[in-house]
Amino acid sequence: MAGTSYLVADFTLICGDEKWNQYLPLAIVAVFVYPIGIPVFLFTSLHSVRKRLAMPKTILRWGLAYDAYRSVFWWWELLDMISKLFLTSLLGFFPAEAQCGVGMAVCGIYLLAILVAAPYVRRIDDRMCCVVQVCVSAQPQPPAPAPRL
């Protein structure tokens, strides 16, 4: 109000004050670790063992990230993570009037990738993933953001 910015999650906190600045370094680290660090770590880890994916030790350590996919698609979980990251976080940086269309486009592109690649070992998983993508892209447009005070 009157030129003061407040934290949307808690209007008692003023952006840029001492308490806000106290958490800023942690927030910056989290912004880089979660959306960039985890996918990069997972990719480098899986890439280093990609020729040993069938070995029991590799399955025990990394199987959760690749075992549902055909061996040539050992990296598909990363694509799925990036798609979800885009839809849940990066989409918010687009203008409000474009978010629905961009989100539907991302879902459509990912759906086409699933249909073309059929990355899952079990066919039912391919089908279920397609149904989920159609349902996600068919979600109604979210309401307009609340007006700024």
Domains in the chain: boundaries = 1-67, 71-142
For the chain, counts of helices (H) and of strands (E): 6, 2
Give me the chain's average pLDDT, please.
88
Nearest to 110 by CA among 129, 127, 97: 129
**What is the rounded average pLDDT of the residues 125-146?**
80
**What is the rounded average pLDDT of the residues 53-68?**
94
Task: Report pLDDT for 142.
Answer: 59
Give percent of the chain above pLDDT 70.
Answer: 92
pTM (2 d.p.): 0.77
Tally the C-alpha atoms within 13 A of residue 138's C-alpha that lie toward its C-beta.
7
pLDDT exceeds 70 at position 147: no
Grade residue 40 by pLDDT with cuts at 50, 70 and 90: very high
At 92-132, the pLDDT tens digits run 899 988 888 898 899 999 999 999 999 999 999 999 999 99
pLDDT exceeds 60 at position 1: no
At 8-19, the pLDDT tens digits run 878 887 888 888
